[in-house]
Amino acid sequence: MSRIGIVSLYTLQEVRRDRLFWSLIPLMCGALALSFFMRETSVVAGEEAFNRSYIALTMLVTTAFVMLLVVSSVYREIDSKAIYMVITKPLSRYEYVFGKFIAFSIIAIAITVIFLSGALALGVGTAKSLAVHYSLFGLEQMIMIMAALTITLGLRSLPSSILGVAGFYIIGHSTKKLVDIGMQMAQEWVPLLKVFYYLFPSLSFFNAQAAVLEKGLVSWADILFPSVYAGAYLVILFLICVIDIRKRDF
């Protein structure tokens, strides 16, 4: 097995025994229970309220859980100096980063698949629209994982890393909306907003929620552009992370 695979394997081994990992089960149950609660108490169509809540809550739970897992696990390794034992071995620092990325991506994809299966079983939308939506969400998770690794290895502080990752997520979901608002209400701000739009990753691309809820038409081609976009951003974030970690003293 390659050294990247070894780092991934033991990261997965550690994470699955971590108490934080098992908090996923109550979180999943909570998301499901809250969706049912919304259906029963909603003043509008109950099914629509359920579908909307299920999609929103599963995305929120997955993102929050995976980001906490990445930040806490990597920070713990830095704080306990366990990272010293790993990166002084004959492996490059980029292999360490890539190994961690693969391990956390496997976890994020597994959770996404579980939530997709739940959505299919509960009839939240058509099979195709749900598959497209959760595939896009999986891509967003991979960008967020690489961002969380870059931020945590760069800042090496737990509160700053959590704030940094949360900031990245909020900005990522705001840029497109800000440009849209600017277009309608303040045209003079649009050039500045577009700078932000192109500078930061726009995570709004990774969402087909509207197509799922409105039972609109979706095709697998809808994944093509976001996949290329996600690939490009993953490469950029990986390079930033590797350049930073290679030049850093531990």
Partner 1 sequence: MSLTIKRLSKRYGTFTALSEIDLDIRTGESVGLVGLNGAGKTTLLKTIVGLIVNFEGEVLVHNRAANGREAKSHISFLPEDFSPPPYLTGYDFVSYMLRLYGRPLYRNNVDECAGTLELQQNILSKPIRTYSKGMRQKLGLMAAMLPDTDVVVLDEPLSGLDPGARMLVKDAFSALRTKGKTLFFSSHILTDLEEIADRLVIIHEGKKMLDGTPEELRSYSGRSLEDAFLNVIRPQRTSAS
Residues that bind partner 1 (CB under 8 A): 1, 3, 6-7, 10, 13-15, 17-18, 76-77, 80-82, 84-92, 246-250
Q: What Cα–Cα distance (Å) separates residue 51 from each residue in 46, 114, 115, 122, 161?
A: 9, 16, 12, 9, 32
Element spanning 75, H or E: helix 46-79
Q: Is 219 left (phi over 0), alpha (psi -120 to 50) or beta?
A: beta
Q: Give whichever of 122 and 240 is closer to partner 1, judged by the CB atom.
A: 240
* Packing angle, helices 158-185 and 127-155, rounded to 10: 130
- Kindly state the smallest distance separating residue 232's Cβ from partner 1, in Å: 29
Q: Nearest 5°: CA angle at 199, between 206 and 195?
A: 110
- Kindly state the smallest distance separating residue 22's Cβ from partner 1, in Å: 11
- Kindly state the smallest distance separating residue 89's Cβ from partner 1, in Å: 4
Q: Give whichever of 25 and 81 is closer to partner 1, judged by the CB atom.
A: 81
- Kindly state the smallest distance separating residue 88's Cβ from partner 1, in Å: 4
Distance CA 72, CA 53 (A): 28
- Kindly state the smallest distance separating residue 250's Cβ from partner 1, in Å: 4
Q: Give whichever of 24 and 213 is closer to partner 1, judged by the CB atom.
A: 24
- Kindly state the smallest distance separating residue 144's Cβ from partner 1, in Å: 23
Q: Give whichever of 40 and 249 is closer to partner 1, judged by the CB atom.
A: 249
- Residue 182's CB: how many other CB atoms inside 10 A? 18
The gap from C-alpha 241 to its chain's centroid, in whole angstroms, comes to 17
State the greatest distance between any 2 C-alpha atoms of the chain, in Å, as a whole number: 62
Six-digit token string for 11: 């990261």
User: Cα dihedral sign for 154, 167, 204, 181?
Assistant: negative
